[in-house]
Structure 1
Amino acid sequence: MFARSALTIALALCLSQPAFSAEDNTDKSVKITTGNSTAGSNRTTDKNTVVASNDNLNAAGQNSAEQDEQRLKPTLVNQMSDINSASGNEPDTSKPVTAQTERALEKAQAVVETLPENPTDPVNGAASKASQEKSVEEWTLDGLNNANWVSDLGKGQFTEYAKAQVLLNRHHASPGVIDGISGKNMLKAISAFQVMNGLPATGALDTQTWDLLSAGQSNDVFQNYTITQQDIDGPYAASIPHDYAEQAKMKGLYYTRVTEMLGERFHMDENFLKKLNPEATFAKVGETIIVTNTREDLSDPVALIIAHKGAKQVYAFDSNNKMVATYPATIGSTDTPSPKGTYQVKAIAPNPWYGYNPKNFVQGKNMKPLSLPPGPNNPVGNMWIALTKPSFGIHGTPEPSLISKTASHGCIRLTNWDANALSKRVKPGVTVRFLE
């Protein structure tokens, strides 16, 4: 069973969002990957084929890549590298996973295994009756806030699903981006919420689940927001180039537009934000738009993080082994599985610099270390939770809509807002375990 499988921590470089430049000096091989931002093949290459190999040492005992790396200091990313490099194989000092935790994980995973890969696809090519009837529903503030559960809602994008996603977000069962669509991340969030609250773990949005989601929620789930001068001013980047060498020249890897920024602030899919505000320009101070009214911080510290590669989900537990939060995640891939083991949180770095090192993988034609500036479009987003395994961590992403839908090099990749939420309730020493 899932809960009795060997616990693994699977943390390596992320396929589209690679980890920091810290290197494991015990492994002299490097992984070469394509420069594709969302997918790519990779292979392990002998050190002799790498431009900055140990066979190219100069008279001072350093190769050119190491000299370049020194010239990048002082930056946060190199400080993080120093922290990671000093902590290779620390013992597991955590308490064993309790039977209560195992039961919670088993329930959550049992539902995930039954979910369809494309839950929003119409059955046999035909939408349900509810889907047909609701296709013309207005997406107004009142319509969103007054949405109520109905049976046989069907598959698609509805105000009921949008409201449920905000409520799941508030209960720390994150659906990822809020988009009003009954996708797999939403179904996983429903399952996790049911587990956290002692309901039968079905993954179905039934009356009992809806009532519990809504209980005690006095604030509207959607609200009006007035665009400010600061929203307009940014800072913003004209664009984010794909090439890391070009990114390294930038002052910051900022948002590129107001709608991108507002989407992340309110945990919304950018296109969904535009759908709710079809007349908005997003360019005028004082303009009023509809946005979500999302969660507050977790009340209790997180004592244990379990990342499940198969479920593409992160589960957070408190000191009593109660599941208190879940997040959709991108974790490893078939080509680059996460390394096994149990590790701890080593350090937390908001708005990190990103240290690219060709010893870890090669992006494009970049054969020298690079230091990429902070920002939400940084390859690791705007949060880095370093682990005691060098180069590995939990981090954000510049592409929140792809979370749990693409592969990674083994890192735990969350939306920026979920990575930030988790970072507020963890501290160095918290155990991170991975399940296959």
Structure 2
Amino acid sequence: MNTPAQGPSPEPSPSVRRAEPASDFTPVPNLTPAPANSATPSPTPVFANPALVPPTTPTVPGGNVSPTPTPNPNAPAQPWTPPVPQPTAALPGQTARPPRALPVSPQELITRLQIFLDQRNFGPGKIDGRWGEFTGKALIRYQVANGQKPTGQIDLQMQQELERIFPIYTTYTLAAEDLTRIDPELPSKPKDEAHLKVLNYRSIAEFLGERFHSDPEFIAKINKGVNLDKLKPGDSVRVPNVQPFQIETMKEVAHLPSNLQFVNRVVKVDTHYRMLDVFDGQKLICSFPITPGSKRLPAPIGTWKIVGISTLPWFRWDEAMLQHGQRSENYYNLPPGPRNPVGVVWIGLNKRGIGIHGTNSPDTIGRSASHGCIRLANWDAARVISEVTGGMTVQIF
């Protein structure tokens, strides 16, 4: 077996036993009002479609006015119609300005929303132009963080905020260096991966998807007629207008230095709603979707501490540890890279083998199980480490 000696070897596999909540554990603040007929608050309702709702009708003397009703999260999806832009009101003696153009399709409006949320560190999951579970959860969290009513709806106020996103798309020109990060022959078995120096992307489509926080199929869709995997240096493609995840700027660092100004922040991991939130006092500052363990190997419930953060980590692949939570001598040391099983980031907790980390399969975030750890898309994991530090509290519930 190939067992490289160099590099940190995090062990993201947990103990099988579920930890009991610590006595100082406090749950995450409720992010949405509880339904009237429910005894348990539901912090992140999921809507089948984004509801465009008009502002509450103003009170008219002598009239009976009903406020806009709260949507039922379990109601079936309704046909969706984009709003018609209205001319800007003119001052006396002036001509009304023409309406500002709004997106012409649901996909364009939802894409704009996803980009808006992503730019503000409220991750909607992968950008794909489709309304989904994590887009709704990110919107609610953004509204809470900004003192808005957490409707989870694209209402008039949100429409106005979305107008700030211009352009929706930008262009990216492929560099020769980018192609050095592509390995179409990347093996899938640990015994073969252990012989490599780096675990790179399998395709240009994968590279572009991760760089721009998107589903590779969405990148292909907005570049009709372009074969992404035949792109050459100098070729340009259309991509969502987000801050790119630049893996080339990441270095292999075993222990990032502490940032004392963050030490009193708290990471709250909601395993039921599959979201990771970072709080500074009572202020929610960022939020991202996660995969939180599995029924067989659940994430450890309780209050923990961050004991170390590493970037481009090595991974000690031990099947016994992954399957049963028991360390063995039959293992492989896997090199760093975006297709390392723990991705590009490892945030270790004071619970042996447990951490918050990236992934080699961003498409599965929130949609599959992990081995007891908290898994994020690499582009989100890279942002989380800019908001946390060693010594911080992590509450898992």
Whether TM-score is above 0.5 comes out as yes
Task: Describe how 1:48-63 pairs up with structure 2 within 5 A.
Answer: none
Please name the residue that 2:234 is paired with: 286
Query: After superposition, where does 1:128-277 map in structure 2 within 5 Å?
Result: 128=79, 130=81, 148=102, 158-214=107-163, 217=164, 220-231=167-178, 233-277=179-223
Give the match for residue 307 of structure 2.
Answer: 346
| C-alpha displacement of 1:280 | 2.6
CA distance in 2: counterparts of 1:160 and 1:107, whole angstroms: 28
1:119, 1:184 within 8 Å by CA — same for their partners in 2?
no
Q: Which residue of structure 1 lines up, in the alignment, with residue 294 of structure 2?
A: 333
In 2: Cα distance, 1:170 partner to 1:205 partner: 17
| Distance across 2 between alignment mates of 1:241 and 1:406 | 22
Which residue of structure 2 lines up, in the alignment, with residue 312 of structure 1? 274
Q: More displaced, 375-384 or 327-336?
A: 327-336
Bigger share in helix:
1
Helix, strand or coil at the partner of 2:287: strand
Kindly state the Cα deviation for residue 339 of structure 1 after the two structures are TM-superposed.
2.0
Letter paired with 2:140: S
Q: Give a deviation string over 1:333-376, Cα, whole Å, max 9, x none.
A: 2222222321111111111111012441359xx97111011111
| Distance (Å, rounded) in 1 between the aligned partners of 2:101 and 2:378 | 28
Which deviates further from its counterpart, 347-356 or 277-286? 277-286
Please give the alpha-carbon distance, in whole angstroms, between the structure 2 residues aligned to 1:275 and 1:252.
Answer: 30
TM-score by length of 2: 0.72
Q: Which amino acid aligns with 1:76?
A: P
1:173, 1:192 within 8 Å by CA — same for their partners in 2?
yes
Instruction: State the distance in 2 between where 1:236 and 1:429 align.
Output: 36
Paired residues of 2:338 and 2:360 also in contact (CA < 8 A): yes
Which letter maps to 1:393? G
What amino acid maps onto 2:207 in structure 1?
M
Q: How does 1:6-25 map to 2 (within 5 A)?
A: none
2:306 and 2:350 in contact (8 A); partners too: yes
Shift of 1:288: 1.9
Deviation at 1:248, TM superposition (A): 1.3
- What secondary structure, in the 3-state scheme, does the structure 1 residue paired with 2:114 have? helix
CA contact (8 A) 2:145 2:284 kept: yes
Misfit runs of 4+, over 6 Å: 105-109, 123-127
Q: Distance in 1 between matches of 2:334 and 2:300?
A: 26
> Residues of 1 paired with 2:217 and 2:291: CA distance?
21
- 1:317-396 pair list within 5 angstroms: 317-318=279-280, 320-361=281-322, 368-396=330-358
CA deviation string 1:376-421 (max 9, x = no partner): 1111111111111111111111211221111222211110000000
What is the rounded CA distance, in whole Å, between the counterparts of 1:312 and 1:125 in structure 2?
A: 23
Alignment of 1:115 with 2:46, yes or no, is yes
CA distance in structure 1 between the partners assigned to 2:339 and 2:274 by the alignment = 22
Tell me which amino acid in the other structure corresponds to 1:181: R
Partner SS, residue 308 of structure 2:
strand
Distance 1:72 1:251, change over 3 A: closer
**Structure 1 residue 93: deviation in Å?**
12
Separation in 2, partners of 1:334, 1:290: 40
User: Given the alignment of the two structures, is residue 75 of structure 1 paired with residue 7 of structure 2, yes or no?
Assistant: yes
SS in 2 for 1:316: strand
- Find the aligned partners of 1:129 and 1:417 in 2 and give their Cα distance: 31
Show CA shifts across 1:300-322 (max 9, x none): 8481100001110011112x320
Matched residues in 2 for 1:314 and 1:357: separation? 27
* Alpha-carbon distance in structure 2 between the residues aligned to 1:412 and 1:345: 13
User: How much has 1:112 moved relative to structure 2?
Assistant: 5.0
The whole-number CA distance in structure 2 between the counterparts of 1:174 and 1:107 is 23
Unaligned runs of 5+ in 1: 1-67, 132-145
Q: How many residues are treated as equivalent by the alignment? A: 326
Secondary structure of the structure 2 residue equivalent to 1:360: helix
Paired-residue identity, %: 30
Kindly tell me: are residues 252 and 107 of structure 1, through their superposed partners in 2, closer, same or farther at Cα, counting changes over 3 Å?
farther
Write the letter of the residue equivalent to 2:191: A
Instruction: Find the counterpart in structure 2 of residue 102 from structure 1.
Output: 29
Match of 1:37 in 2: none
Q: 1:369 to 1:410 in 2, by over 3 A?
A: same
Q: Indicate the SS of the match to 1:355.
A: strand
1:102 match: secondary structure: coil
Q: Displacement of 1:255 after TM fit?
A: 0.4
2:359 counterpart residue number:
397
> Match for residue 379 of structure 2?
417
> SS of 2:394's equivalent?
strand
1:70-129 CA-partner distances (Å, limit 9, x unpaired):
x6423311xx46xx9xxxx9xx899x859xx6244777995555326x769xx9999726
> Is the CA contact 2:323–2:371 (under 8 Å) kept in the aligned structure 1?
no
Quote the RMSD (CA, aligned, Å): 3.6
Instruction: Compute the displacement of 1:325 (Å).
Output: 0.4
Match of 1:54 in 2: none
TM-score under structure 1 normalisation?
Answer: 0.66
With over 3 angstroms needed to count, the CA separation of the structure-2 counterparts of 1:223 and 1:230, relative to structure 1, is same
The whole-number CA distance in structure 1 between the counterparts of 2:177 and 2:32 is 43
Contact conserved, 1:280 with 1:287, CA < 8 A, in 2? no
| Cα separation, partners in 2 of 1:401 and 1:228, compared to 1, 3 Å | same
Query: For the Cα contact (< 8 Å) 2:31–2:140, is it kept in 1?
Result: no
Shift of 1:170: 0.9
Separation of aligned partners in 2, 1:327 and 1:163: 18
Q: Secondary structure in 1 aligned to 2:224?
A: coil
**Which structure 2 segments of 5+ residues have no match?**
51-73, 83-99, 246-260
